[in-house]
Structure 1
């Protein structure tokens, strides 16, 4: 048995894939310690992981409810303002949890895990949930404000990317990160997102090559594991009303904005109007849906739109015609696995890049926010009536079914670092020694 400490920072789309990878490692007999935001405690403990919270549930709820987190102009700075105060306590926590048989696994924002690797040579697998943060001059990511045109010469694209790194990324993250590095006796880091955050041991990319073609300037060594098709279904109660609704007519369309902060009343109105115009039925996953106890005795089989707070997409999508979603890569992956077309309505973060990749795969359309009923109705008609989209969705479904399961492939890759003989040296067992040289204490 090896202890694997997984740090998953972000929204559900960042955390759930790591739960699936942790479950695959646990099934192989390894001890899993899951470090994430407090609201994910139940999901982790259902997998029988030891759970260590990062921050409080109240802090996380406040951050997710901040409109600035979901605006392309302010999202990066807002997210960093939430993460920066956790760097030092999270580093201390990892130091206390680490044993001489530990392997660290961390998502994009797990800077403290990268510091543990750098300070104490603890084996680290850094995880890229989506390709947008692999900053490549050969294939620059799509962003509403900072997209570099692909048609430019490579040298120009590389120079522009360095400017973005220096003036938009390092400028925001550098001060807090490098202040901590100074306390640890480390030199300042530059090109934080382009180079530093990637583990020097190995990078795990949780998507297949057909979704994001590997580029010459991506970090190495790396593995592209394929999509980790994990959707936690263990806590979901049976829903006979939902089953009756699906069975009562033509297969419905599913709508979800994920954890994105939106005007849910306006979004619902647009969805309802688009369904009426297209003559379709839909299921809307939204936090303002009525709770289960308020639905007792209702007959929704004649409704155009059924609202639910949560339904596991892995079980729902194969029963539906199409998916309209925010652009989370885990959501897109489950639509690919179900073989259904997608309409992606990106709002912030990696959603724009993911949307473009869905379009490039031939499996859907991109429809930028705000969602308007006429445009949504036209998009639905297009994706549902297109023979080429239907053919390509079936092809991608077959390709995924024939590929190794992403969680298992990722688990095997992580196991390789357990067998390498690389072990951490002189990891402090208490908090204070990590800052002893600078006179700091926790």
Structure 2
């Protein structure tokens, strides 16, 4: 079976597709991954085609500010999405797969699938497209609207209308017909039921598969750094990192994390990422390990708690490691996961990134200790899952 995987976004959007691609390849399938450049994800030996976009460079240039995205829509956002839509379509069409598995940003995937007469499967890394009464679409409203939750899922359809011209170009490129595209033959959500309970009103074509993880546990930043290994063996430590959340206030966040850790007698491993946190030189000491990136698979299992932005990748990695999360949400789906984990007793109440302080973080660290039994229980449940294999089984059934 020839499987085309198409994704767009930062590292957290690419890594689940890499895990699925490696599992499919190991099972004897032909796989091509169409992805952005320089995502930070280790793609191993996968056949990778470029979309010609670099989300990391975009984030470093303008941060994650919604205001900046609106301001630069015509000069930055629109050209980037054109590449995702058009170049993604070109790469998929040239490969001639038997099935296309696509990220919601790759809006042209159904057009290509219809032109080739093949099924396609949507991957909702976060629940934002499949309507339910149980909760609002991730990244829309801050709290539940009860019976009106289903209305929040219309936002995605409105966003798609912004790129009609680019979709028309993709349709012309592959010889697609005008009109409505086909619905996904399956929707895959690489999310653990230990973190998100499956709503009763989702259709049977939606599969909450569990987390997609590489069998090797591979991590692009896992270089076997002896300095990191020595630090991890030196006693209890806190982990803090905000991934690609580059925005103002990074030094303030760094000072808050260091002060809170030291107040509790903890050392700290701090991942700077793309600039979401900065540790001023006057704070550096033997009780801190500071690096651009560190392997989650190595540092999370031994951490007393993980302070992070609440992206689903880090949420699941920390929970699977049995480590309580303290979520400091910035944008998009992060407040959603902060609320979900808190409601489930898996994390303290989230702290808004602009409100992060040493005292608030210190109180959250104390609350995180109370969450440890529930997190341990969730980690045991996740250890029994094989979401990657479940997803692959769904795909092979579509032939």
Structure-2-length-normalised TM-score: 0.85
Q: Residue 338 of structure 2 is aligned with which of 355, 379, 382?
A: 355
The aligned counterpart of 2:4 is 5
Q: Counterparts of 1:76-95 in structure 2 under 5 Å?
A: 82-95=80-93
Q: Distance in 2 between the 1:394 and 1:274 partners? A: 24
Q: How far apart in 2 are the matches of 1:278 and 1:176?
A: 53
- The range that moved more, 29-38 or 88-97, is 88-97
| Alpha-carbon distance in 2 for matches of 1:98, 1:397 | 39
- Aligned partners of 1:219, 1:110: CA distance in 2, in Å? 23
Q: Does the CA contact (< 8 Å) of 1:272 and 1:304 recur in 2?
A: no
Shift of 1:353: 1.2
| 1:304 to 2:278 alignment | no
Mapped to 2, the partners of 1:148 and 1:275 lie a distance apart of 31
Shift of 1:260: 1.3
Separation (CA, whole Å) in 1 of partners of 2:313 and 2:373: 22
1:228 corresponds in structure 2 to 212
1:15 — aligned with what? 14
Q: Identify if the C-alpha distance between structure 1 residues 222 and 399 changes in structure 2 by more than 3 Å, giving closer, same or farther.
A: same
When structure 1 is superposed on structure 2, of 71-80 and 121-130 the one drifting more is 71-80
> How many Å separate the matches in 2 of 1:304 and 1:41?
27
Distance (Å, rounded) in 2 between the aligned partners of 1:42 and 1:271: 26
1:243 is aligned to: 229
Paired residues for 1:36-185 under 5 Å: 36-40=35-39, 43-44=42-43, 46=44, 48-56=45-53, 59-67=54-62, 69-71=64-66, 74=69, 82-99=80-97, 102-143=98-139, 146-147=141-142, 149-151=144-146, 154=147, 156-159=148-151, 162=154, 164=155, 169-174=159-164, 176-177=166-167, 180-181=170-171
Inter-CA distance 4–397: structure 2 relative to 1 (3 Å threshold): same
Paired residue for 1:277, among 257, 263, 275? Answer: 263
Shift of residue 217, structure 1, vs aligned partner: 5.3
Q: 1:321 aligns with which of 280, 304, 315?
A: 304
* Pair 1:185–1:283, CA change in 2 (3 A): closer
Residues 141 and 306 from structure 1, CA distance in 2 versus in 1: closer, same or farther, beyond 3 angstroms?
A: same
Q: Give 1:207's match in structure 2, choosing from 188, 191, 195.
A: 191
Q: How many residues align?
A: 382
Structure 1 residues 273 and 147, CA, compared in 2 at 3 Å: closer, same or farther? closer
Q: Report how far residue 43 of structure 1 moved.
A: 2.4
CA root-mean-square deviation:
3.0
Residue aligning to 1:408: 389
Alpha-carbon shift at residue 186 of structure 1 (Å): 4.0
The structure 2 residue matched to 1:378, chosen from 337, 352, 363, is: 363
Distance in 2 (CA, whole Å) between partners of 1:25 and 1:361 is: 33
Mark the runs of 5 or more structure 1 residues left unpaired by the alignment: 190-195, 290-299, 421-442
For 1:131 and 1:34, how far apart are their aligned partners in 2?
22
Cα contact 1:108–1:126 (8 A) shared by 2: yes
Structure 2: how far apart are the matches of 1:343 and 1:41? 24
